[in-house]
Amino acid sequence: MGTTGYGRRVAEDGGVVRYAFGTGPDAVDGILVIPLDDPDRWYVEGREDRPVLARNVLHAALRSRRREGAWPRDASFFS
């Protein structure tokens, strides 16, 4: 059984990049916040847990950033 998630960059400033993420292209389950100085400190705005969907969007964004040198507009994944 496959997994699909969608991430869309909604903001980037000097300290963090934010992605809206969800189970569909128009769904927003939360906002993933990635600190630029330490991506391992990522979190979801307003939540204490770290949802798997957000973590998968994080990994897709990090892979693309390492490959392309910039945070991607879309960080979707299909597995």
Domain ranges of the chain: 4-70
DSSP 7-58: EEEEEE-SSEEEEEEESSTT---EEEEEETT-GGG-EETT-SS--HHHHHHH
Burial tier of 12 (Cβ tally within 10 Å: 0-12, 13-18, 19+): middle
For the entire predicted model, the pTM comes to: 0.93
32 and 51 in contact (C-beta within 8 Å)? Answer: no
Instruction: List pLDDT tens digits, range 4-49.
Output: 899 999 999 989 999 999 998 889 999 999 999 999 999 999 999 9
The average pLDDT across 51-55 equals 95
Distance of CA 10 to the CA centre of its chain: 10
Q: Residue 14 has what pLDDT?
A: 84
